[in-house]
């Protein structure tokens, strides 16, 4: 598995609990779930689900960059939605951040998310 290393960047929101933005284990990067939080304010971005989805993906992009990777190397994603009726809206934004071959993905509806976010996305990537 290799040595575990914590990844932290000011270009993504600080952890709001006892976890790391990401952990590397060998050549794999495990990025914690990212909400649509503005890294500078720690607050959810204003706008609809599209704005939160875009910010969550930008946060993931920043964490991956700090770990020496990119969205192109994401192998798996978990998407958590507060309202499954917004699935098509997040899918539209998500598709603009990834290309073939798309990462494996699971999308689930949840009752609530931290800070009353509408979407949270966690990924696993290679370096």
What are the tens digits of pLDDT across the range 25-55?
Answer: 999 999 999 999 999 999 999 999 999 999 9
What are the tens digits of pLDDT across the range 87-119?
Answer: 999 999 999 999 999 999 999 999 999 999 999
Which of these, 55, 51, 5, 50, lies nearest to 25 by C-alpha position? 5
Q: Is 14 exposed, middle or buried (0-12, 13-18, 19+ CB in 10 A)?
A: exposed
Q: How confident is the model at residue 1 (pLDDT cuts 50, 70, 90)?
A: low
Domains and CATH numbers, the chain: 4-126 (3.30.1330.40)
Distance CA 80, CA 118 (A): 8
Residues in Cβ contact with 58 at an 8 Å cutoff, skipping those fewer than 6 apart? none
């Amino acid at each position: 598995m290799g040595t575990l290393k914590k990844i932290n960047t000011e270009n993504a929101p600080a952890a709001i609990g006892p976890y790391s933005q990401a952990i590397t284990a060998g050549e794999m990067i495990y990025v914690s779930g990212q909400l649509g939080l503005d890294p500078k304010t720690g607050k959810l971005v204003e706008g609809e689900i599209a704005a939160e989805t875009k910010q969550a993906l930008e946060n993931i992009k920043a964490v991956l960059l700090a770990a020496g990777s990119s969205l192109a190397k994401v192998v798996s994603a978990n998407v958590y939605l507060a309202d499954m009726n917004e699935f098509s809206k997040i899918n539209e934004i998500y598709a603009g951040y990834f290309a073939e071959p798309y990462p494996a993905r699971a999308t689930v509806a949840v009752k609530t998310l931290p800070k009353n976010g509408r979407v949270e996305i966690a990924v696993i990537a290679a370096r």
